[in-house]
Amino acid sequence: MKVGIVGMGLTPLRPLSPELSYKELVYEAAVKAYNECGINPRKDVDTFVTCAEDYIEGTSIFDEYTPDQLGGALKPNHTVTQDGLQGIIAACLQILTGNFNIAVVEAHVKSSNILTPDGIHLCALDPIYVRPLNLNPYFIAGLEYDRFLRVNMINGIECGEVVIKNKRNALKNPYACYGENLTLDDYLSSDPVSLPLLSADISQPADGACVFVLASEKVATSLNKEPIWISGFGWNSGSYNLDTREWFYLSYVEKAAKMAYQEADIKNPQKEIDFAEIDDTFSYKELQHLEALGIFTEGRVFAKLKEGAFHPEGEFPVNPSGGSLGMGYLYEATGLMRLFVACLQLKGKAGEFQLKKADKALVHSWRGLPTQSTACLIIERR
Amino acid sequence: MKFLGTGLKDEEIKERKVCLAYWKADAKYAWDCGIAIGKYLAGLKEGKILGVKCEKCGRIMVPPRIFCEECFRTIDSWVELKDTGKVNTFSLCYITWDMKFLKEPQIPAVIEIDGASPGHGIMHLLGEVKPEEVKVGMKVKAVWKKKEEREGAITDILYFKPI
Amino acid sequence: MGRRVAIVGVGMTKFVRRAQETGKELAYYAAKEALDYCGMKLSQIDAVVIGSAPDTFDGVHMKGEYLSDGAGGFNKPTLRCYVGGGTGVFAVICGWYHVASGLIDSCLVVCEEKMSSYQPHPQGAFLTIFDHTTERPLKPNLLWIFALEMNRYMTTYGIKKEEIALVAVKNKKNALDHPAAQLKEEITVQDVLNSPVLAYPVQRLDVSPVSDGACAIVMVNEYLARRWTNKPVWVEGVGWSLDTAYWTNRDLCYPRYVEEAARMAYKMAGVTNPRYDIHIAEPYDPFDYKELHHLEGLMLCGKGEAPQLTVDGVTQRDGDLPVCPSGGLLGVGNPIAAAGLMKVIELFLQLRGEAGKRQVARKVRRGVAQAWGDLMQVGAVTVLGI
């Protein structure tokens, strides 16, 4: 199984983007993606997938507004109300049926247009059991983080190191908007949100749009001499319920990863994969996900972190782009943003944040609070 | 198949025979208009309806956009359209969104704007016309808010009236 | 069309104005019924597809996540697809591409809608479907766009309301035989014409009700199909299309998006002459005129000719082309995504000869189901056959 990534476009992430409407932002990313593989969307694309949620857009049935800026009017278009990586998976499944050769996947967000993000996050909680408690939804991250610290018998300094690493990595990434040189003292003195969660543990929202062009194995090389290949993918949902979920171990992430590794024929992810762009919506999630993804299991994550293994020059670079903590949080577009920067690495076009060895990568996403919805991709260059 | 499911009657709700959880969503947004709609709204403030032109397909479109969705290319120019047009289709709407009846109907219509390509219209309301006299194909003209009251919004046009 | 995909099990709840059950519970009922229908266990399902229309109805952001455990998605690959009102039929297409990809052997497709949660009236949830800058300030309500489309359709082809009303009469009558139906009643054309005008030309009895409900189907690959049933119903063709959001720039008299979707599905199914190759149709009928509009888009008759087909009785259950023998949305009810899937379930039962009192008179080997949505923009079409 192989699907080729033949074109991609990402608008640089910004905290605000008042000069462009969401349609104009997407158009900019789409033009870049189509240009890379020389296609005309009106003629060449067989199917379009957009990832969006109505409450984030502030428009009901948002899928109404998805085709025009992609050149997809009067063609097959559908929305996946999940992360961009689940959109990539939907497009891959379509291509693998043999009925479609070229698929486009888009996701975008105008975080800055959402005036009441907490009010909207609250709407994601169970309306009967949880919402009436009227807690800021970050309490869920606080609960999970607390359990994470206790089980691993650590004190949180480790998560500070993740924040410092990712924000420093972002300084070299021109697409990132939250790069900075942070000290451990800066981190520890940031405001408490839902202890042990500090404000510095939370990735900050940004505006951006990302478009990918995928192609079947048959046509990919005719569109792009050096496509990036998706050799495996997996996705999974854990429990939405706060009262019955596993609070410590992320079995849904493990299942999704296993599915992807199996398809990509990966037996030892730590050795076979060169680096990972994985979800760091909250700092502790990066470490928690690393373990569940089966890369450093049985508590080795913390020792490796201390060794500096996850730095760009380390043994297994994690989020060399800066991740969500350094680049910005893009809601449904977050997974595509990660895939974009991972592809830059594989193409050797990551500029200042280019890794020495980047032939095979793991890209991972999580849909954020209160979900346990996740997706993984394995990408490689031939 | 068993066709499960329990239908409730209105009384069961009103008399609180079942438990209900209430929630009022706090969902507020401020959408960036961007280039095309930003300029469109600025035009309305000046009392003008602006459209855009794609030289490839030759269409003059309203409401404006920075790209032609048919040709997938950036538009070439801006065109000032007339504030007249003809009714493409209309409705006489006797209810509010929460199903309360109105004595006098609201008259929403799609109005093909003069100067735009055939069939290119906008949605707006009709006024100064008896409901029974509205016809498809009827010529209409915009009735604008007073200049000092305009704020750069689609409501700077109060409605369209027959000419 | 590559790998063959079959439907082997179906399940649905009652469609009601206001269900006591939560959305999750409705989804569970339907999913369990579908599994029981073919004797499968949830553990034998590889992936779950969820279909549900706007989150604002339930007042739940990320509704797909909320519904996932009720729909059987816990610890499984779960995807929620979305094309507004077209979602119910599109979910089948989504299930099809899961299985047809060769990676997923069995897929549970669950569609749920609970429109009663939104207060004071679900129409309020539709206020926010319009463009936020150029349309919403005019305070439009949902009926506007349908009334505008209906008027354009009637004016272009000179169609009379009496002809359109026949659809409401037929479908509500068909629903008398559907055990899950919400609005089963015998009405006359005159009743429709005398019902209150909501938004001319739309009157009360032209419109489907507001509903809560859920539907589910089990889709499997060719190898599993024979294991779970001796009468698989095959997905022969799928097609979908989304027209431009600039709806005021389109001619609303004809649903081009349905034609594009139908062409795609027919090509895949090898249907060259739809009027003869398709034996039964379940087009989307949230309004009576939409059944006619969609019959034309599905190329089951010429443009503007669907009313005559209805007048001639061709679309009755004992006619040559039975249309909405289920009772459709007008009769069974309209829990949006679930209503679309209900149509697919009806075809499944009709093709297998299991529709009981609703079984059509003619022999049927191939049928088409279609749903529609958004700003009069989406066509989702599946062709099923035995």
- Can you give the pLDDT at residue C127? 80
Which chain B residue has the Cα nearest residue A118?
B26
Confidence of residue A59 (pLDDT cuts 50, 70, 90): very high
Share of chain A above pLDDT 90, in %: 96
* CB C261 within 8 Å of CB C380: yes
Chain C residues with CB under 8 Å of B99 CB are: 121, 123
Out of B31, B95, B123, the one facing C248 most closely (by C-beta) is B123
CB of B28 less than 8 A from some CB of A: yes
Q: Do B3 and C143 touch (CB under 8 A)?
A: no
Residues from chain B that touch C197, judged by Cβ atoms under 8 A, are 92, 94
Q: Average of pLDDT values for C290-308? A: 98
Put simply, the answer to whether C2 touches A99 (Cβ < 8 Å) is: yes
Query: Would you call C140 and B123 a contact, using CB atoms and an 8 Å cutoff?
Result: yes
> Does the pLDDT at position A304 exceed 70?
yes
Residue C54 confidence class, pLDDT cut points 50, 70, 90: confident
What is the average pLDDT value for chain B, to the nearest integer? 96
Mean pLDDT, rounded, for A85-90: 98
Tens-digit pLDDT profile for residues C203-227: 999 999 999 999 999 999 999 999 9
And the tokens for C344? 């697919």
Average the pLDDT over C47-66 and give the result.
93
pLDDT of residue B73: 97
pLDDT given at position B30: 95
Chains A and B: how many Cβ contacts under 8 Å?
85
Question: How confident is the model over A339-374, as pLDDT tens digits?
Answer: 999 999 999 999 999 999 999 999 999 999 999 999
Residue A334: name the closest of A346, A324, A322, A321 by CA. Answer: A324
How confident is the model over A18-38, as a mean pLDDT?
Answer: 97
8 A C-beta contact, residue C252 and residue C48: no
Nearest chain C Cα distance for residue A324, angstroms: 20
Band the pLDDT of C56: cuts 50, 70, 90.
Answer: confident
What percent of chain C shows pLDDT beyond 90?
92
Tell me which residue of A98, A94, A82, A166 sits closest to A368, measured CA to CA: A82
Percentage of chain C exceeding pLDDT 70: 100
Query: Tens digit of pLDDT for each residue in C126-161?
Result: 788 999 999 999 999 889 999 999 999 999 999 999
- Provide the chain A residues 95-114 that lie in CB contact (below 8 A) with chain B: 110, 112-114
Residues A56, A69: contact at Cβ < 8 Å?
A: no
**Per-residue confidence band for A379, with pLDDT thresholds at 50, 70 and 90:** very high
| Distance between CA atoms of residues B31 and C381, nearest Å | 34
Q: If you measure CA to CA, which chain A residue comes closest to C63?
A: A124
B25 touches chain A (CB under 8 A): yes
Q: What is the arithmetic mean of pLDDT over B110-127? A: 98
Q: Which residues in chain A are contacts of C117 at CB distance < 8 A?
A: 127
Residues 6+ apart with CB under 8 A from A312: A169, A320, A353, A355
**Interchain proximity A24–B34, CB inside 8 Å:** yes
User: Mean pLDDT across chain A, nearest whole number?
Assistant: 96
Residue of B nearest to C127 (CA): B97
Phi then psi dihedrals of residue B24, to 5 deg: -110, 115
Sorting pLDDT into bands at 50, 70 and 90, what band is C335?
very high
CA of residue B87 relative to chain centroid, distance: 13
pLDDT in tens, A137-181: 999 999 999 999 999 999 999 999 999 999 999 999 999 999 999
Residue from C3, C45, C75, C82 to probe the interface with A (highest A Cβ count within 10 Å): C82
Q: Is C58 on the interface with A (CB under 8 A)?
A: yes
pLDDT in tens, B5-47: 999 998 998 888 998 888 999 999 999 999 999 999 999 999 9
Nearest-Cα residue of chain A relative to residue C129: A60
Taking residues C177-197, what's their average pLDDT?
95
B21/A131 touch (CB, cutoff 8 Å), yes or no? yes
Neighbours of A151 (CB within 10 A): 12
Shortest CA distance from C132: residue in chain A: A59
pLDDT above 80 (res C123): no
Instruction: Please report the DSSP string for C279-337 in residue order.
Output: -EEE---SBHHHHHHHHHHTTSS-TT-HHHHHHTTTTSTTSSS-B-TT-HHHHT---HH
Q: In the complex, which subunits touch B with 3 or more CB pairs below 8 angstroms? A: A, C
Preferred mutation among B69, B70, B123 to probe A, highest tally of A CBs within 10 A = B69
Query: Does C16 contact B109 at a Cβ distance shorter than 8 Å?
Result: no
CB contact under 8 A, A89 and C79: yes
Beta strands in chain A (DSSP E): 3-10, 47-51, 77-80, 102-110, 192-194, 197-198, 207-216, 228-237, 275-277, 360-366, 373-380
pLDDT at C306 over 60: yes
pLDDT tens readout for residues A97-152? 999 999 999 999 999 999 999 999 999 999 999 999 989 999 999 999 999 999 99
**What's the pTM value of the predicted model, to 2 decimals?**
0.97
Q: How many Cβ pairs within 8 Å bridge chains B and C?
A: 163
Query: What is the arithmetic mean of pLDDT over C34-62?
Result: 95
Tens of pLDDT along A313-324?
A: 999 999 999 999
**For chain A, how far is it from start to end, CA to CA, in angstroms?**
14
Q: Is residue A283 predicted with pLDDT exceeding 80?
A: yes
